[in-house]
């Protein structure tokens, strides 16, 4: 009788143990609930990083456009040098042949003279028209006098540029014209060069050293 009671007790304990094991297997650990705002916080952090990167890119580009960083400077085109001629030389410019014959310094006459501290410099030249059409010679705007200091002087009326002596006028085809053009310059001017732009004859500017 005692053995049967002990056997029943052991079976009851075995059943309890199995039920406990079963309950333990059925019960699963609950997944942790994400903390509120964790996902949103990470998203905001990523957006902030992207915004900073974009800002750096924009600032870099703007700095480069305003002269910062490495900028390639275009190489300037060398200025074409004009040949300088001497008194008495024949110069071809387009269809014209030009010769600066001589120069003459003048302090004027009793009726007309340059301003105080200035003098007149008259230049005598010959222009031969080798073209097939007549050409009008105009000294104003085409003939100037340069000095070494960099100043240029326009032609003016002097004692040598009267109606019959001036280079201004018409030169026929296959003909030539000789006359004077005058300039008013300081008495201290040096390094003088006569310049004539023979654009009316299809040529360019010429320079003649006056030796002063």
Give the mean pLDDT of the chain: 80
Section 128-143 average pLDDT: 95
What the block records as the tokens of 192 is 């003088």
The pLDDT of residue 50 is 78
Structure tokens at 133: 């059409």
**Strand 193-197, strand 118-129: pairing:** unpaired
| Distance between CA atoms of residues 161 and 150, nearest Å | 25
Q: Other C-beta atoms within 10 Å of 83: how many?
A: 7
SS3 22: helix
Q: Which of 128, 156, 131, 129 is nearest to 141 (CA)?
A: 156
For the chain, the structural domain boundaries read: 84-209
Residue 141 pLDDT class (50, 70, 90 cuts): very high
Q: 159 pairs with which residues across the strands? A: none
- pLDDT band (50, 70, 90) for residue 211: confident
Confidence band, pLDDT 50/70/90 cuts, at residue 70: very low
Question: Closest by alpha carbon to 198, among 150, 153, 138, 117?
Answer: 138
- pTM value is 0.62
By three-state DSSP, how is residue 196 classified?
Answer: strand
CATH 2.60.40.1240 holds for 84-209: yes
* pLDDT at position 6: 52
For residue 45, which phi and psi values (nearest 5 degrees)?
-65, -40
């Amino acid at each position: 009788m005692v053995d049967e009671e002990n056997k029943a007790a052991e079976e009851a304990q075995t059943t309890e143990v199995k039920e406990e094991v079963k309950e333990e297997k059925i019960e699963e650990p609950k997944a942790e609930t994400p903390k509120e705002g964790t996902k949103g916080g990470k998203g905001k952090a990523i957006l902030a990083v992207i915004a900073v990167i974009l800002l750096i890119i924009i600032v870099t580009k703007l700095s480069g456009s305003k002269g910062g960083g490495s900028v390639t400077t275009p190489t300037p085109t060398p200025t074409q040098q004009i040949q300088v001629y001497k008194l008495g030389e024949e110069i071809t410019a387009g269809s014209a042949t030009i010769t600066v014959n001589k120069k003459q310094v003048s302090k004027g006459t009793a009726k007309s003279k340059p301003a105080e501290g200035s003098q007149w410099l008259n230049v005598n030249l010959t222009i031969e028209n080798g073209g097939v059409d007549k050409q009008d010679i105009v000294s104003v705007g085409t003939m100037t006098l340069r000095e070494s200091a960099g100043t240029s002087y326009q032609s003016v009326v002097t004692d040598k540029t009267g109606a019959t002596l001036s280079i201004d006028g018409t030169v026929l085809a296959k003909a030539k014209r000789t006359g004077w053009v005058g300039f008013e310059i300081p008495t201290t001017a040096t390094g003088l060069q006569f310049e004539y732009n023979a654009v009316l004859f299809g040529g360019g500017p010429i320079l003649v050293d006056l030796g002063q």
